[in-house]
């Protein structure tokens, strides 16, 4: 086989990329996803390119997370390039938190046809456009998708129900957002909409630096306090019922595989 040619594979490696402005739940989504898929045995890797969020960063929850050097956008861009090249070479699943605002990822997609390069190397890119119920939350979707800068065939518009103000229904809060032209265009291109279920005590868990399983089982870190009883019950229901339903709503081929599933694919 000629040098540089990717060997055909039955199952494509998955790269999840969470995008959106600051404070729309990108890190919370990927934190939930990695915990969920690793619980099934998936060895999914974690790439933390968020240079602004230092309190609830993915690196807090996953000691093995690979973290971008905090030395500017250009170094961040180079770091992301290196991670993607490694994934293409060694064929594994990963999640990428690009952060918000001006980022190395944004600079990269302005310079090169990034999506075509990755997908042309037999990798499935899953774009996760995270939004809340404010029109301004659509900025990234408009910026990347409207002008076809970065709109993977596998794209999910993630409506973060956790950002809906108390007293409003999540469905009602997002009604006007779903009628926006940017979303209409994305849906016509094959994007799907999924509602990320709200966990009302999310900050109580993340502030403690706990996994969801640890939190609902009253675990504590040194010097900390366990989650109160009713918060533990909330986490239990969210983690055991709502989170699986969320991921089950997405196409199976867009999700990382557990080792047993991968073996079944090879056997078939």
**What would the mean pLDDT of 118-127 be, rounded to a whole number?**
96
Are 174 and 64 part of one and the same domain?
yes
Does residue 249 form part of some domain?
no
Are 84 and 149 part of one and the same domain?
yes
Are 116 and 174 part of one and the same domain?
yes
Output the domain CATH number for residue 59: 3.40.50.300
42-45 long-range contacts (CB < 8 A, ≥24 apart) are 42/93, 42/256, 42/257, 42/258, 42/259, 43/92, 43/93, 43/259, 44/14, 44/92, 44/93, 44/94, 44/95, 44/256, 45/87, 45/92, 45/93, 45/94, 45/95
By residue range, what is the domain housing residue 170?
A: 14-198
Collect all residues with Cβ–Cβ distance below 8 Å to 39 and sequence separation of at least 6.
213
pLDDT > 80? residue 9: no
Are 212 and 166 part of one and the same domain?
no
Please report the pLDDT score of residue 15 as a whole number.
Answer: 97
Share of the chain above pLDDT 70, in %: 89
Does residue 261 form part of some domain?
no
Does residue 259 form part of some domain?
no
Are 114 and 30 part of one and the same domain?
yes
pLDDT > 60? residue 266: no
Query: What digits encode the pLDDT tens for the residues 164-187?
Result: 987 788 889 999 899 999 899 899
Decide: pTM greater than 0.85.
yes
Are 209 and 183 part of one and the same domain?
no
Q: What is the mean pLDDT of the chain?
A: 88
Are 192 and 70 part of one and the same domain?
yes
Gap between the Cα atoms of 184 and 96, Å rounded: 26
Query: What digits encode the pLDDT tens for the residues 48-58?
Result: 998 776 667 89
Query: What digits encode the pLDDT tens for the residues 194-220?
Result: 999 999 999 999 989 899 999 999 999
Are 81 and 95 part of one and the same domain?
yes
Are 236 and 187 part of one and the same domain?
no
Looking at 198, 232, 260, which one is the last position of a domain? 198
Are 210 and 190 part of one and the same domain?
no
Exposed/middle/buried for residue 47 (C-beta within 10 Å: 0-12, 13-18, 19+): buried
Please report the pLDDT score of residue 148 as a whole number.
Answer: 63
Does residue 130 form part of some domain?
yes
Query: What digits encode the pLDDT tens for the residues 48-107?
Result: 998 776 667 898 899 999 999 877 889 989 999 999 999 999 999 999 998 877 788 988
Are 103 and 228 part of one and the same domain?
no
Are 150 and 210 part of one and the same domain?
no
Please report the pLDDT score of residue 146 as a whole number.
Answer: 58
Does residue 9 form part of some domain?
no
Q: How many domains does the chain have?
A: 2
């Amino acid at each position: 086989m000629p040098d540089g040619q990717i060997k055909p594979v039955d199952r494509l490696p998955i790269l999840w990329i969470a995008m959106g402005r600051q404070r729309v739940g990108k890190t919370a989504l990927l934190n939930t996803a990695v915990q969920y898929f690793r619980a099934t045995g998936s060895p999914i890797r974690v790439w933390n390119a968020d240079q602004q969020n230092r309190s609830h960063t993915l690196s807090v929850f996953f000691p093995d997370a690979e973290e971008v050097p905090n030395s500017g956008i250009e170094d961040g861009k180079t770091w992301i390039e290196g991670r993607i090249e490694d994934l293409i070479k060694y064929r594994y699943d990963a999640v990428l938190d690009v952060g918000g605002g001006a980022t190395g990822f944004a600079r990269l997609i302005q310079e090169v046809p990034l999506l075509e390069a990755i997908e042309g190397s037999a990798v499935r890119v899953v774009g996760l456009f995270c939004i809340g119920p404010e029109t301004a939350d659509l900025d990234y979707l408009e910026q990347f998708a409207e002008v076809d800068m970065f709109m993977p065939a596998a794209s999910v518009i993630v409506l973060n129900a956790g950002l809906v103000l108390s007293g409003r229904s999540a469905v009602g809060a997002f009604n006007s957002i779903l009628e926006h032209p940017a979303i209409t265009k994305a849906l016509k291109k094959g994007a799907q909409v999924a509602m990320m279920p709200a966990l009302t005590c999310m900050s109580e868990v993340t502030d403690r630096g706990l996994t969801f399983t640890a939190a609902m089982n009253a675990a504590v870190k040194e010097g900390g306090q366990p989650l109160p009883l009713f918060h533990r019950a909330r986490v239990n229901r969210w983690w055991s019922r709502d989170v699986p339903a969320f991921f089950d709503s997405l196409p199976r081929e867009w999700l990382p595989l557990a080792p047993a599933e991968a073996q079944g694919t090879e056997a078939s």
